[in-house]
Amino acid sequence: MSACILTPGAPRRIGFISTRFHGTDGVTLEARKWAQILEGLGHTCYWMAGLLDAPPEASCHAPLAFFNHPEVAAVQDQLFGTPVRSRAVTDRIQSLKERLKDDLYRFIDRFRLEVLLPENILAIPMHVPLGLAMTEVIAETTLPVIAHHHDFAWERERFTLNAVNDYLQAAFPPLLRGMEHVVINSMAQRELARRLGIPSQVIPNVLDFETPPPGVDDYNRDLRQEIGLAPEDWLILQPTRVVQRKGIEHAIELVRRLRDPRAKLVVSHPGGDEGSAYLAMLHDRIADAGIDVRFIADRVGETRGLNAAGRKVYTLFDVYPHADLVTYPSHYEGFGNAFLEAIYFGKPVVVNTYAVYARDIDPLGFKTIEMTQLVTREVVEQTREILDDAALRRQWAETNYQLGVKYFSYAVARRKLAARLANLFGEGV
């Protein structure tokens, strides 16, 4: 009996579309990984967004597509937290939608696109006019689509009360022919089917586990010294943005309860788009705890270089090799990039058992220190043990890395993306 072999199929011109492809947010990072994988399969990738750092020769900058564009933000502010909208607001939404459709058609025509790949813009309503425009363009062109959904409206409390339920039903996401829907966890897959009757496939977030992680080199060798740590200090890394759902107060509590002057909490990222109240609360907690916390967002960037003060800027992948422990106490995550990064770099992780972790990651057998919304005595003792036992850290690192290769490597995404394209074009099998 002959084997069924999935191949990449004919090379395609694929257009990635989102509000932004810039920096190190989760959607941008995963889109870049997908593009790298797809280009490795022989396809060509192009980019359209409102905030963009892709090469100009392969991209289309559409400022109105950015969710923080003044015209867009002014409309979005009137759509949530209220159950009604005025006719004037509807007219503004429709006007923005039509202008964005023009941008989308220009993008399609300029690069003669054969596949559209909207990244999260048909899932979370951060930019309602763009989601509507994308939906109508898909319906009008009938181009094949792989819609990559990271977060849905029903997963965010701030979208619960809204004046655009008609639009959410129509476009977030739409149910159209010629669309492959991809989600990043099994809970989203189940809810999408239950709520909207839309089938989807799970492609988890991935890392290039086939390539060994970078380590300490001549550039990043001085990182600990540059951020004021002594050689004997424990660098306890919180590798996330400073937003409430990241649960950074638990990392502060863990360091407080370690009661060891070597324990230094290092927060790598800046705040998000949710205001300053959470950061202020964290500073109060830090003062009460009397611990040493370093916020180093001004020293961590997407690329190496110098900041405005002329000081060295490191990448996050420069920081990880120096970490002794990673804290990941998030209350909620769509998947968990920071978890994968810690595993990739062989670092022990203290992880809160948020729902997606509990359902999709924990059963796979990773060695971690788990907490459930509380920094218990057991969590503190396990943390002390792993920090003091180098042999145990090496054992955990090896086990976790092999599981990463098996479940969250590029090879996993490569197979699943090839299958999505085969479904769209009826080829490759």
* pLDDT above 90 for 23: no
In the predicted model, what is the mean pLDDT of residues 191-208? 96
Residue 427's pLDDT band (cuts 50, 70, 90)? low
* pLDDT above 80 for 318: yes
Q: Which of 304, 307, 330 is nearest to 319 (CA)?
A: 304
* pLDDT above 60 for 281: yes
Residue 6 is predicted with a pLDDT of 53
Residue 59 is predicted with a pLDDT of 97
Structure tokens at 46: 């192009």
Provide the β-strand partners of residue 269.
Answer: none
| H/E run at residue 116 | strand 115-118
Say which residue the tokens 């110098």 belong to: 306
End-to-end CA gap in the chain = 15
Residue 25's pLDDT band (cuts 50, 70, 90)? confident
Residue 8's pLDDT band (cuts 50, 70, 90)? low
The structural domains of the chain, ordered by start, are 13-206+410-425 (3.40.50.2000), 223-407 (3.40.50.2000)
**Cis status, amide bond into 173, omega within 30 of 0:** yes
Length of the chain equals 429
* pLDDT above 90 for 336: no
Average pLDDT, the chain: 95
Residue 3's pLDDT band (cuts 50, 70, 90)? very low
* pLDDT above 80 for 24: no
Residue pLDDT, tens place only, 356-392:
999 999 999 999 999 999 999 999 999 999 999 999 9
Q: Which of 113, 22, 102 is nearest to 62 (CA)?
A: 102
What is the distance between the alpha carbons of residues 28 and 413, in angstroms, rounded to a whole number? 16
Instruction: State CA 82 to chain mean position distance.
Output: 28
Residue 234 is predicted with a pLDDT of 97
Listing DSSP states for 40-52 in one string gives HTT-EEEEEESEE
Residue pLDDT, tens place only, 32-79:
999 999 999 999 999 999 999 999 999 999 999 999 999 999 999 999
Residue 272 is predicted with a pLDDT of 67
Residue 302 is predicted with a pLDDT of 87
Residue 213's pLDDT band (cuts 50, 70, 90)? very high
Listing DSSP states for 117-160 in one string gives EEBSTTTS-SSHHHHHHHHHHHHHH---EEEEES--GGG-GGGS
Burial of 194 (0-12, 13-18, 19+ CB in 10 A): exposed
pTM (predicted TM-score)? 0.90
Number of H helices, E strands in the chain: 15, 17
Alpha helices per DSSP H over 4-49: 26-40
Residue 300 DSSP code: B
Residue 1's pLDDT band (cuts 50, 70, 90)? very low
- 369 Cβ contact list (under 8 Å, min separation 6): 348, 349, 350, 351, 379, 382, 383, 386
What is the distance between the alpha carbons of residues 263 and 289, in angstroms, rounded to a whole number? 13
Percent of the chain scoring above 90 in pLDDT:
91
Residue pLDDT, tens place only, 100-151:
999 999 999 999 999 999 999 999 999 999 999 999 999 999 999 999 999 9
Long-range contacts of 106-111 (CB under 8 A, 24+ apart): 106/60, 107/15, 107/17, 107/46, 107/48, 107/60, 107/62, 108/15, 108/137, 108/141, 108/143, 110/60, 111/13, 111/15, 111/46, 111/58, 111/60
In the predicted model, what is the mean pLDDT of residues 340-355? 97
Give the other-Cβ count within 10 Å of 234's Cβ: 21
Structure tokens at 108: 């399609």
Q: Which of 403, 404, 383 is nearest to 393 (CA)?
A: 383
Residue 32 is predicted with a pLDDT of 96
In the predicted model, what is the mean pLDDT of residues 254-278? 90
Q: Which of 139, 143, 119 is nearest to 12 (CA)?
A: 143
Which of 220-224, 274-278, 403-407 shows the lowest per-residue confidence on average (mean pLDDT)? Answer: 274-278
Provide the β-strand partners of residue 349.
Answer: 326
